[in-house]
Amino acid sequence: GTSVIPAWSVTMKDFVNCWNVSTYLVGRFQPKFTEFTPKELAFMFPSLQEGGVFTPSSCTQDQKAAILIPYRDRWKHLHTLLPVLIPLLMRQNVAFRIFIIEQELPGEFNKGALFNAGYLEALKVEDFDCFIFHDVDMVPVNDRNPYRCDSQNPVHLAAYVDKFKYEPFYDGLFGGVVGFTKYQYEQVNGASNMYFGWGAEDDDLRDRVFKKNFTIVRRPEGFYNMIKHSHGKSQWTPSLERFKVYSKRYERQDVDGLNSIVYHQRDLNIFPLYTWIKIWINTTE
């Protein structure tokens, strides 16, 4: 039947699309890389709600984004990224929740498995439209790069990185920061769970995307600076196994990924800046 909306329930907010009113965007900027304590950050962002939640108050956002940061032993990086990322997301009027997806020791880091576990755990907390998988050391330096999923295709947000002189490092680069809708992530069966250590899990994910007939969206504003690693290079060991795993990627896509991830959620903590989830992944197989 017809329903009558009483006039008093129609507020200005209903008419204002958040993506049309991002008033305070500046484009390219040069952030200072400064580490803050969680306390300082909570003080800096009083409009951030417990768990690292933000809902724009003056406009209507059509997407709710889960910002998923795979993590292990990178406290300094995380608290250098957040003072840039949080206000940027607020300037863009993104409705978001920040998740730190920490892999429990011991064992090699497995970013793909953390993507999958993080995705599933985020959906247990609340429903999301857009999943942004975000490296802990990638700092956005252009706030006109929208933290927003594309309705058609997965997005590679970190297209231009200082480490690669802001040039596309290679055509198929799909690392750093990527965004999927729920539909897109489920279609590609998530990420592979079989890459331990550094490298190739992002190339595998890209090939999954293409195999399911998506393309990749890159925006001209996708500029990032990497936080320098004190060890000079990444402390993750480049895995030698990765070439072998990668060569069988198409055979595995439908049986290795979101539908096969084995993990345990060890801990879930709601902190002022983030929802922190600890994940155990089987590393002995």
Q: Does 242 bind ligand BGN (CB under 6 A)?
A: yes
- Closer by beta carbon to ligand BGN, 122 or else 178: 178
- Closer by beta carbon to ligand BGN, 56 or else 175: 175
Distance in angstroms (rounded) separating the CA atoms of residues 158 and 175: 7
Judged by CB under 6 A, the residue of 246, 252, 280, 283 near ligand BGN is 246
Largest Cα–Cα distance in the chain? 66
Size of the site for ligand BGN (CB under 6 A): 9
Query: CA quadruple 94, 98, 256, 252: dihedral positive or negative?
Result: positive
Q: Annotate each residue in 193-232 with x if it binds ligand BGN (CB under 6 A) or - if it does not, as one string.
A: ------xx-xx-----------------------------
Distance in angstroms (rounded) separating the CA atoms of residues 142 and 140: 6
Considering the complex, what minimum distance in angstroms separates the CB of residue 236 from ligand BGN? 10
For the residues of 65-117, what is the DSSP string, one character each?
Answer: EEEEEEESS-HHHHHHHHHHHHHHHHHTT-EEEEEEEEEPSSS---HHHHHHH
| 179 contacts 157 by C-beta, under 8 angstroms | yes
Q: What is the DSSP letter of 8?
A: G
Q: Does 135 bind ligand BGN (CB under 6 A)?
A: no
Q: Does 250 bind ligand BGN (CB under 6 A)?
A: no
- Closer by beta carbon to ligand BGN, 175 or else 257: 175
| Binding residues vs ligand BGN (CB under 6 A) | 169, 175, 199-200, 202-203, 242-243, 246
